C-alpha cells in the first residue's frame, strides 16, 4: 500500500516539475521573441566549436595538472620537514584566500608571460592556453590538496600501523592501503571540484584565451545577439560537466557495492 501511494505522489511530483520547467522555458523563449535569429548559430558554428574544443583542452590539461599539484601539496603538508610542510601550507592558503581572477591577471602578466611567452611561441605552442592551464591547475590543485589531506587523515591510525607491521614502506602504505580508502571518502568532493574547474575555465577569457565564453562574447558582438548567445554557452558547459558528474556517481555506487 505504501509503495503504491509513493508511486502516485512521485508521479504527481514529476508532472509538477515538468510543468514548471516547461513554463520557465516558454517564458524565456517568449521574452526572446523575434529578437533572436537561431540561424546565425549554424552560420557561426565554427566559432562555437573552436571555443568548445579549447575549453575541453584546457579542462583536460588542468584536470591532470590539478591532480598532480593536489597530491604534491597533500604529501608536502604531511612531510616530516617543517620547511616543506609550512611552505606548502602557506601556498595553499594564499591560493585559496585570493580570487582566481586576481591570480590570473597577476600570474599571466607579471609572472609567467614575461618569462615563458617567447619560449612557448618558439615551440609552436599557444602561450595563453599553456599559461592558463598552469594557473588553473595551481588554483584548483590547492583545493584538491586540502581535500586529499582531509581524506588521508580520516583513515584510522590502526590502518597505518597494520600496513607497517606487514612490512610496507611509506610509498606502499599510501598506494595499497591509504589511497584506496581515502578515494572512496573524497570522491564526491573531488568530482565537485572538477566541475568547478571546468566552469572556472571561463575566466581565462580575461587573459585572451579563446575558449567557449570568449567565443560566446565574440558571437554576441558580431551578430548583436542578446540572451540567445548564452543559451548554447550554457549547453556547451553542460555537455562537459554532465559526464564528470555521471562518472562520479557510477564510481560512488561501485565503491558502495564493494563494501
Measuring CA to CA, how many Å separate 106 from each of 47, 89, 151, 212, 242? Answer: 28, 21, 32, 22, 32
Helix (H) or strand (E) holding 167: none
- Sequence-ordered list of residues with C-beta below 8 angstroms from that of 217, at least 6 positions apart, any chain: 205, 229
Confidence band (pLDDT; 50, 70, 90) for 1?
very low
What per-residue confidence (pLDDT) applies to 259? Answer: 57
Which of the residue ranges 14-18, 38-42, 132-136, 190-194 would you say has the lowest mean pLDDT?
A: 38-42
- According to CATH, the topology of domain 41-258 is MetI-like fold (1.10.3720)
- Alpha helix locations (H) across 107-229? 113-122, 127-153, 157-165, 170-173, 179-200, 212-223
Q: Which three cell numbers stand for residue 243?
A: 559526464
Give per-residue pLDDT as tens, 86-117. Answer: 999 999 999 989 999 999 999 999 989 888 88
Give me the mean pLDDT over the 134-153 stretch. Answer: 93
The share of the chain scoring above pLDDT 90, in percent, equals 41
Give me the mean pLDDT over the 155-176 stretch. Answer: 83
Give per-residue pLDDT as tens, 187-225. Answer: 889 999 999 999 999 999 999 899 999 999 888 888 877
Confidence band (pLDDT; 50, 70, 90) for 71?
very high
Confidence band (pLDDT; 50, 70, 90) for 237?
very high
- pTM score: 0.85
What per-residue confidence (pLDDT) applies to 33? Answer: 59
Give me the mean pLDDT over the 58-78 stretch. Answer: 94
Q: Which three cell numbers stand for residue 150?
A: 582531509
Task: Indicate the DSSP class of residue 36.
Answer: -
What per-residue confidence (pLDDT) applies to 32? Answer: 61
C-alpha–C-alpha distance, residues 108 and 127, integer Å: 10
Q: Please tell me which residue, 169 or 236, carries the higher pLDDT value.
A: 236
Give per-residue pLDDT as tens, 37-62. Answer: 667 777 888 889 999 999 999 999 99
What per-residue confidence (pLDDT) applies to 252? Answer: 80
C-alpha–C-alpha distance, residues 130 and 125, integer Å: 8
Give me the mean pLDDT over the 140-166 stretch. Answer: 88
Give the start-to-end residue ranges of the domains of the chain.
Answer: 41-258
C-alpha–C-alpha distance, residues 106 and 99, integer Å: 11
Amino acid at each position: 500500500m505504501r509503495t503504491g501511494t509513493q508511486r502516485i505522489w512521485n508521479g504527481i511530483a514529476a508532472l509538477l516539475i515538468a510543468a514548471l520547467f516547461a513554463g520557465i522555458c516558454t517564458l524565456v523563449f517568449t521574452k526572446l521573441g523575434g529578437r533572436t535569429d537561431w540561424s546565425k548559430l549554424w552560420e557561426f558554428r565554427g566559432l562555437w566549436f573552436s571555443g568548445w574544443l579549447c575549453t575541453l583542452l584546457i579542462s583536460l590539461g588542468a584536470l591532470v595538472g590539478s591532480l598532480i599539484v593536489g597530491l604534491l601539496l597533500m604529501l608536502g603538508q604531511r612531510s616530516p620537514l617543517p620547511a616543506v610542510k609550512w611552505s606548502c601550507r602557506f601556498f595553499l592558503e594564499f591560493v585559496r584566500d585570493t580570487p582566481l581572477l586576481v591570480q590570473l591577471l597577476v600570474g599571466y602578466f607579471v609572472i609567467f608571460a614575461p618569462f615563458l611567452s617567447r619560449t612557448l611561441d618558439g615551440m609552436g605552442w599557444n602561450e595563453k592556453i599553456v599559461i592558463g592551464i598552469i594557473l588553473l591547475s595551481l588554483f584548483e590543485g590547492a583545493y584538491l590538496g586540502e581535500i586529499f589531506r582531509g581524506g588521508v587523515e580520516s583513515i584510522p591510525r590502526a590502518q597505518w600501523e597494520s600496513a607497517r607491521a606487514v612490512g610496507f614502506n611509506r610509498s606502499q602504505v599510501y598506494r595499497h592501503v591509504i589511497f584506496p580508502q581515502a578515494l572512496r571518502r573524497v570522491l564526491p568532493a573531488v568530482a565537485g571540484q572538477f566541475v568547478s574547474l571546468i566552469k572556472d575555465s571561463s575566466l581565462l577569457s580575461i587573459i585572451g584565451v579563446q575558449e567557449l565564453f570568449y567565443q560566446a562574447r565574440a558571437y554576441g558582438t558580431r551578430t548583436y545577439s542578446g540572451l540567445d548567445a548564452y543559451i548554447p554557452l550554457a549547453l556547451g558547459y553542460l555537455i562537459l560537466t554532465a559526464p564528470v558528474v555521471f562518472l562520479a556517481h557510477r564510481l560512488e555506487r561501485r565503491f558502495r557495492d564493494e563494501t
